[in-house]
Structure formats: structure tokens, C-alpha cells
Amino acid sequence: MTNPAILRVILGPDNSQRVVISAGLPVSQPPMQPQMKTQCKIMTPFRLQFMDPLFGNDFVNLTSIEEIQDKATLKVVSGDSTLILSSPESTSSRSSWPDLFLVPSFKENGMLLIPDPKLKSDILEGLIQEVVKHTVYPTDRKFDQVAEALILGHPCLKEKGSPSGYAGWKMSLKYKLSNYRTHLRKVGCPEVCVNALKHKPAEKCSPAYDVKRPKRGEVDYCPAFPLGESEQSLETIRIELLSDVKKHNNRDTIKDKMNKTFSLRRQEVIYDALMISELQERWPALFDPAEINTEFKRITTMPLQSRFLSQLNFLSESLLTVFAKRSGKQGKMLKDMMMVRTCQLLSNFFNYQV
């Protein structure tokens, strides 16, 4: 029987606790993180650091489990702080779904095999840790992409008798992610808690009813509150914003406070389904053109205006063809608008030539 591993985990100044891993230290870092989240009640993305004796016991990033042993001291560092340092405008804890899903590496002998329960669990845990970097509610097609990427990267895991070669892996991934969401719900992850039964109508109290999940393009869908902030503290900042928007030359202050209250705003939109008029009353700064662009980037990680204009330029020829084929009153209105625009462009061209 494997002896449990005991770790001292530092969560902040004057805040540390003991974490017990009943199965002992795993072979890689991903299987250990869910237990850290559950026992330490960590709701935001994080990375681990360990005391490195080579550098006078200073804390350095943990890249391999082989660097620590039983009774080691680890330190939790918020993943959000790293993201903000690299991009002041972004607080996203997730990234968009990749075109090609990258499967984490693990030891295998290159031959067709049926993995034992522990190896299979480690493989699934590693895959889930990669999936949740992008979403905790992947679509069926995305499960297909992950399972297919697994057997393409490790042909020895291809299933005999399965038309796709990965049907069993796909089903196991779904169950594993469902269990992972249960752990996230226990530690209060808002993206999962929003779908708890207590938030659903009594007459339609079913897990499958009205599941709130990111729509296409949404990346940072329902983030947790920043470290050190609560609903009350963020509400205080929101009230301050109501007077800040009335002041002149106050753009930097508004931008900073809107960035800090992003999580509160998203939870209001998702949990309470605010009407536009209510949103405008509570968050007037959000309806400034510059802030609309910034909010879009916070949610999707992509710029709104430049992306829209580039796509408009790309599709302009097709749009003009469609406009030219329209008839009736609408067609005449479009032709008149196109004529005015053509005259403006010609006028600008000749003025430039002169």
C-alpha cells in the first residue's frame, strides 16, 4: 500500500496549511492540482513553486514532481497575476480553443496496450488539465478532437473494435471532466456554480436544464473574483464608478476600475440576466466606445474594432455583389448609398492626385 504524501502549502502571508495526498506523490504535476484546489479551496488558476536548496531555499517554479519529496514546502502563486503582467488589458484565466489540440506527454512503449487503471487515470487527468485551460464545458466535437489527438500522438492507445479507435477514451473523458466539475463546484468556481441545481427553477430542477456555458468566441466566460476581493469590495468600486464617469480626464481611473470589476459584471450578466437598460444604469462606463472594445477583448481575448474592419474589408466585394442584386425599395436605397460612397471615394482620389 502506497504511503500518503504530506505537503506544507503556503497560500499567502501568514496563511499556510497541510495537504495530504493519500495515493502518494504522482508521477506528474496535473494529477496533484485538483487535490490542491479541493483541500485549499483555491478557485483561481495557479502555479506551484518549491523551496530550491540550490538557491538558498528561495521559491522557484515547480516543473517536475522529481524536484520535491514528502514533507516538502510548496507555495501557491496566482495564475492571474502572471497574465496581468504580460498583458495589462487582459485578466483571462483561459485561452481560446486551439486549432490543433496538443496532448501532454507520458511514458509509453510504442506497442498496442490496454493501460492499467492508474496509467489510464493519469492520462485522462493530464488531458483534462489541458482541456480546462480552454473550457470546462467542451462540445461533443471538441471531445472528439481531444480523443483523436490522443490516439494520433500515441497510436498504442488506439482501441480495437472501435470504428473511430477512441470511442472509449471519449466517454472516459466526459466522465472525468464531469467529476472535475464537481470538484470545482465544491471549491466555489463561479463558471460551474452558476449551473448548480439551487440556481434553477423548482419545476425544472434538472442538471440538463438551461446549462449556462460559453458561446462561440467567449473565452473568459464567468471568472472568479480577483484575489483579495469580494462581492462587497467590488460593489463599492462599482458605486465609485458611477461618479467617476461624470469627471473629466478620468479615463485611466475608469479603465483600471472597470478591469478590476470585470468578474462582478460578468456574474451579474450571467446569473441575473440583466436587461440592457439595467446594465446601462448599473455600468454606464461600459457603454463608452473605448470600453466596449476593451470589454469585448476581456471576454474573447480578441480586439473588436480591428477584427471587424479587417473582416469587413475581406467581405466587401461579396457584400457589394449582394447589394447590387437587391431590388425593390431596399435595393434602391442600397444603390443610392453605394452611389454616394463611390462619389466620395472618387472625389478623395482626385483631390489627392491634385
What is the predicted pLDDT for the residue at 58? 81
Are 296 and 320 in a shared domain?
no
Are 198 and 263 in a shared domain?
no
In a domain, 257, yes or no: yes
For the chain, how many structural domains are there in total?
4
Q: What is the arithmetic mean of pLDDT over 126-131?
A: 88
Q: 17-35 pLDDT, tens per residue?
A: 888 888 788 777 767 777 7
In a domain, 255, yes or no: yes
Ranges 66-70, 125-129, 262-266, 270-274: which has the least confidence: 66-70
First to last CA, the chain: 89
In a domain, 95, yes or no: no
What is the predicted pLDDT for the residue at 89? 36
In a domain, 292, yes or no: yes
What is the predicted pLDDT for the residue at 208? 67
Are 235 and 198 in a shared domain?
no
Is the Cβ–Cβ distance between 103 and 130 less than 8 Å?
Answer: yes
- Average pLDDT of the chain, as a whole number: 82
In a domain, 307, yes or no: no
Q: 153-187 pLDDT, tens per residue?
A: 888 888 888 889 899 999 999 999 998 888 888 87
Are 17 and 82 in a shared domain?
yes
Are 186 and 138 in a shared domain?
yes
Q: 254-293 pLDDT, tens per residue?
A: 999 999 999 999 999 988 888 999 999 999 999 999 999 9
- Of the three residues 186, 204, 222, the one that is the final residue of a domain is 204
Is the Cβ–Cβ distance between 323 and 334 less than 8 Å?
Answer: yes
Are 246 and 281 in a shared domain?
yes
- Of the three residues 31, 63, 86, the one that is the final residue of a domain is 86
Residue 347, pLDDT > 80, answer: no
Q: What is the arithmetic mean of pLDDT over 82-108?
A: 57
Are 65 and 17 in a shared domain?
yes
Are 27 and 67 in a shared domain?
yes
- Of the three residues 65, 86, 107, the one that is the final residue of a domain is 86
- The position carrying cell 472509449 is 168
Q: What DSSP line would sit under 118-184, residue for residue?
A: HHHHHHHHHHHHHHTTT-SS--HHHHHHHHHHHHHH-GGGPPTT-SSS-HHHHHHHHHHHHHHHHHH
With vertex at residue 191, the alpha carbon angle to CA 185 and CA 196, rounded to the nearest 5 degrees, is: 50
In a domain, 213, yes or no: no
Strand partners, 224: none
Are 258 and 198 in a shared domain?
no
What is the predicted pLDDT for the residue at 352? 59
Count other Cβ atoms within 10 Å, centred on residue 301. 18
CA dihedral 233, 234, 235, 239 (to 10 degrees): 100
Residue 327, pLDDT > 70, answer: yes
Are 125 and 200 in a shared domain?
yes
What domain range includes position 150?
A: 117-204
Q: Give the pLDDT band (50/70/90) at residue 315.
A: confident
Percent of the chain with pLDDT strictly greater than 90: 21
Are 12 and 82 in a shared domain?
yes
In a domain, 106, yes or no: no
**Checking DSSP bridges between strand 5-12 and strand 73-78, what pairing results, if any?**
parallel
Ranges 37-51, 230-244, 338-352: which has the least confidence: 338-352
In a domain, 284, yes or no: yes
Domain of 45: which CATH number?
3.10.20.90
The SS3 of residue 340 is: helix
